[in-house]
Amino acid sequence: MKVLITENLRIDLEKELWECRHCDAALVSARDNYKRGLLVYDRDPREIHKPLLDPSKYKLTYSPDPQWCRILEYYCPQCGSMIETEYLPPGHPPVRDIDLDIDALKAQWRSRDEVLEAPVGTDPPRRLHDHDHAHGHGHDHGARK
Amino acid sequence: MDDIQPNAEQQALIEKFLDENKLFLAPDPMIMENHRIEPRSAVEEELLGSGRVDAHKINEVRGLIIAALDESHTMIEQMGVAPGAKWGDMTTAIFTAAGDLSMIAPHGVGGFAAAVFYPIKFINKYWVNEPTVGVRDGDGFIHNDARYGGIHNTDQSMMMPVFWKGKLVCWLSATIHEGENGSCEPGGMPAAAESKFDEGLKMPPFRVAENGELKRDLVTFLQNSVRDPKLQLEDMKVRLHSVLRLRERILKVLEEHGEEALIVTLRQHIEDVVEEVHRRIRELPDGTMRTVSFADSTLRESAMLKLTMALTVKGDRMIVDMRGSSPELLNRSINACQASFKTMLFTGFMQNIWPDLPFTMAVFTPFDFIFDKNSLINGSFDTPQAMSLIPLFKTMTIACIPMAKFNYSLPHRYTAIVAPQYDQPASLIYGGLTQHCEYTGNFCADINGMGQGGRSHRDGEHSISPPFAAHCDLGEIELMEEDLPMVRLGAFTMARDRVGFGKHRSGLGYEQIHTYRRSGLWGFMTGCSGSLFSSSQPLFGGYASPAYPMCKIKNINIFDELKKNPGKFSFDMIELMNTQPFEGASYSTHTMGMTFELAAPGELYMMCQGAGGGYGDVLLRDPALVMKDLEENFISDETARDIYKVVFDAATEVVDEEATARRRAEEREARKARGVPFDEFVKTWVTPEPPAHLPYMGCWDDPSEVYGIYAGQRVKMQGPDLTSQFMLNPKDVRIAELEAELATYRQGQAGGK
């Protein structure tokens, strides 16, 4: 039995291991901080949120200030997928963001079927501009040619 | 004195004396720190415990009440004068006799109603039996002070008891974000407030209407206390009459279905919610999820203010632990009291996590809260709280991240998982003399246009709503221009490349280019953080929003320029700032914390509404969606290539699928090459305390040790013993810097002689 925990991670309950959902790599014990099974990179935020205003003219440019803000990028060591990102001031300890009671999780999933693909949840109907959809009003605009 | 030991009779006498002789009825912690629904009253117990509850009857009565709430809400929307009322920033609501919020209008701002139960409970506790006040049929009570319940003091409520056969059976309310309230800056949200006495009107709940009519003497007092007496009068009448109409409809329900049906419906409704929330918590995995959020401004100076949240699920209990958050600031206006914090956190749960639940504060009855005393989000009575929106807007989205991690494993979902929406009030506040020669002060409805975060199955919506209500609108610029001297030269242009990138990108914010004419006295302010540190945080490996500055073009009258050479104006603030087309004008960028300043006619104040956080790895974004973003001008070629690693022909915009797959595979290899194993990384990354250059407040690693800044010096406190921090006047700081520069210059000159 495997339990999906995030878009990128799942836990193998029998083996008690964190796994990458993209390449199935076993990362670290499920009782441990999953980040310990990943690679980390300290990204200068100006590389992602590039200056849109001319830095030679202005101090504030739409880029976060690298003296105030860094991006920690967490990668799967096997496939290089981005598992998590964390915006922190320089030197701030990474946050232990997920801390599950694994015994309780095992007990909870004894009565549940395994979920392989995460459900979406309800999504309200959306009116499209091109009318290329079923209205359910009893009239049909026909398919777009 | 300590050795006096009163006996039981004496003790009772002392307590009675103290109870009857309170010097000042300040906010009551017994009310303000209790977010849970009251125990059943004797009548409720008798009716609900009898087994005679008819679910069909409840459903029928509930439908009648909701219809009545909808009607009264629409009345405000149609008649309200405040910009907030015109664009949806209001609600009507119904409460049990004890004051618990039962239902709100279907399109109302629930946070208003979820804050108003506090002042209703105050009235029940202090005014009902007070011989000089009392609560009678036809009374209307007004209130705006968030310390007695509320989000901030711009919001004014009318609360009215409903009596039936001589007994109080329920309470009704109507709330509007009024804006102007006589504070030290126009518009009711003064960033410059250094004490609560700079905040303008501070109304604890008091009676302002009798027999369904406003008392003119009190209305005059309130009008005399604000910049916009017309607004004050008109919206007091609007609130009163919408509540009177609601009362009429509720009396019809009582006539038709009886008192029991109403009481049972109101109570059963909230008890059902409590039971359902217990069930929802129980199905989550046990454990703790943590997150942090940073505001980078006090609105007077740049500073890193941390909010730290640990959500713990244990069985059917949810514990919200906010210890380690920034301490409160005694002379800055961005503090919030814990009741406001809970209300806004609840609002965020209703918008992003459980939007299908009925909007009642009963949702939080199964929740426990832990705060440090005197923290930014558990501020004390004496702190100014006029711009509490800085931590409270973050509060509305902060739970998105930990709750996504709790919810992800569920076999079913109540709504799609969503990354945080943009979480700062990026709206211009204005004040001055209008073209109609009337003084005014208020804010633009742009506050309602924040970009949504990316979702688990699709991109976030652009500029969709504020984080406190899904159905508020952006307003009509033309209507605003009829009332005010302001002119919007750029209104809703999507802010290209200012996106929370991800597998599912955030919705975008939009550019706002403001100016004014035909007024001899007009000015602007903003109250917003996020110019140095990204505001809205990403989810599951996406990227955050960028940082947003305020841009100004001064020493110019744009209307003269438009007459002379209209082609020079591009309607694009980035282009205007980078090309600097107007000779003699000054171009500058600033943080978004700007206290009120007078502007000259035709000067440009330019800002952006923000983007939400991105969802998931950018390398997983469908290249076709990247090209669609490019086509719609949401991103540049450079972003498509450098961030999303899509290879395409710039002329035809056709994607080279194979080359893109190769480029993305290369990037994954590059990540593996540059990434460092976590344990190794932490050894070199983590510092024992915040960097010396950073004005930092809040815990660093250990939540029980909290940093503050007192009169310019970093201090370290124990979490349970936080004290208010005192900030230096930024002008004094600047003067000291300039004096030091001058001294250095003079020394240099003296040395040269």
| pLDDT 10s digits, B666-690 | 999 999 999 999 999 999 999 999 9
- Report yes or no: B29 at the A interface, CB cutoff 8 Å: no
By the 8 A CB rule, do B433 and B439 touch?
yes
- Mean pLDDT (chain A, rounded): 89
Phi-psi domain of B620 (left: phi exceeds 0; alpha: psi -120 through 50; beta: other): alpha
Segment (H or E) for B626 = helix B623-631
Asked whether the predicted pLDDT for residue B137 surpasses 80, the reply is yes
What is the model's pLDDT at position A135? 44
Is A41 in contact with B671 (Cβ distance < 8 A)?
Answer: yes
Domain boundaries along the sequence of chain A: 2-109
Give the nearest chain B residue to A104 (CA atoms): B286
**Average pLDDT value for residue range B720-733:** 96
Contacts of residue A34 in chain B, CB cutoff 8 Å?
none
Question: What average pLDDT does this structure show over A102-128?
Answer: 86
Q: Is the pLDDT of residue B649 over 70?
A: yes
Report the chain A residue with the minimal C-alpha distance to residue B610.
A62
* pLDDT at residue number B84: 83
CB contact under 8 A, B589 and A59: yes
**Which of residues B473 and B525 earns the better pLDDT score?**
B525
ipTM: 0.95
Q: Do A77 and B457 touch (CB under 8 A)?
A: no
Chain A residue with CA closest to B636: the answer is A52
pLDDT at A53: 98
User: Among residues 403-462 of chain B, which lie with CB inside 8 Å of chain A?
Assistant: 404-405, 408-417, 456-458
With an 8 Å Cβ cutoff, are B675 and A41 in contact? yes
pLDDT at B162 over 90: yes
* Contact between chains at A101 and B286 (C-beta distance less than 8 A): yes
Distance between CA atoms of residues B638 and B377, nearest Å: 40
pLDDT digit string, tens, across residues B702-720: 999 999 999 999 999 999 9
CB pair distance less than 8 Å for B541 and A7: yes
Mutation to test the A interface, candidates B678, B679, B700, most A Cβ within 10 Å? B678
Size of interface A-B (CB pairs under 8 A): 253
Q: Give the pLDDT confidence score for residue A125 in this predicted structure.
A: 62
| Chain B residues touching A124 at Cβ < 8 A | none
pLDDT higher than 50, residue B533: yes
More confidently predicted of A133 and A48: A48
Total Cβ atoms within 10 A of residue B454: 34
Strands of B140-143's sheet, edge to edge?
B101-104, B90-96, B167-177, B155-164, B140-143, B206-210, B213-214
pLDDT at B252: 98
Which one of A35, A79, A87 has the shortest CB-CB distance to B534?
A87
The arithmetic mean of pLDDT across residues B518-543, rounded, is 96
Average pLDDT rounded to a whole number, residues A126-137: 50
Cβ of B547 and A58 within 8 Å? no
Query: Cβ contact (<8 Å) for B682 and A42?
Result: no
Distance from CA of B45 to the nearest CA of A (A): 35
Question: Which of B552, B617, B683, B699 is the best substitution to test chain A (most A C-beta atoms within 10 A)?
Answer: B617
By the 10 Å C-beta count (0-12 exposed, 13-18 middle, 19+ buried), B562 is classed as middle
Give per-residue pLDDT as tens, B439-483.
999 889 898 999 999 999 999 999 988 999 888 888 888 889 999
Using an 8 Å CB-CB cutoff, list chain B residues near A115. 409, 411
Query: How confident is the model over B363-380, as pLDDT tens digits?
Result: 999 999 999 999 999 999
Q: A61: nearest CA in chain B?
A: B549
Look at residue A123 and tell me whether its pLDDT is greater than 80: no
Per-residue tokens: B105: 């209008």
**Is A58 in contact with B549 (Cβ distance < 8 A)?**
yes
From CA A116, how far away is CA A110, in angstroms rounded? 16
pLDDT digits (tens, 9 = 90+) for B3-29: 788 999 999 999 999 888 889 999 999
CA gyration radius for chain A? 22
| Chain-chain contact of B412 with A119 (C-beta, under 8 angstroms) | yes
CA–CA dist B259, B41 (Å, integer): 14
DSSP for B107-122 reads TS-HHHHHHHHHHHHH
pLDDT class of A128 with cuts at 50, 70, 90? low
Per-residue pLDDT band at A133 (split at 50, 70, 90): very low
What's the average model confidence in pLDDT over B509-531?
Answer: 96
pLDDT of residue B651 exceeding 90, the answer is yes
- Give the chain B residue nearest A31 (alpha carbons): B287
Range with lowest mean pLDDT among A115-129, B114-128, B596-610, B618-632: A115-129
For A46, which residue in chain B has the nearest alpha carbon? Answer: B546
Q: A88 vs chain B: nearest CA distance in angstroms?
A: 8
Model pLDDT, residue A129: 56
Whether residue A137 is predicted with pLDDT greater than 60 in this model: the reply is no
Q: How far is CA B361 from CA B104, B153, B199, in A?
A: 11, 20, 27
Strands A9-12 and B586-590: unpaired
Chain A residue with Cα closest to B685: A91
pLDDT at B337: 96
Given this model, what pLDDT does residue B160 score?
98
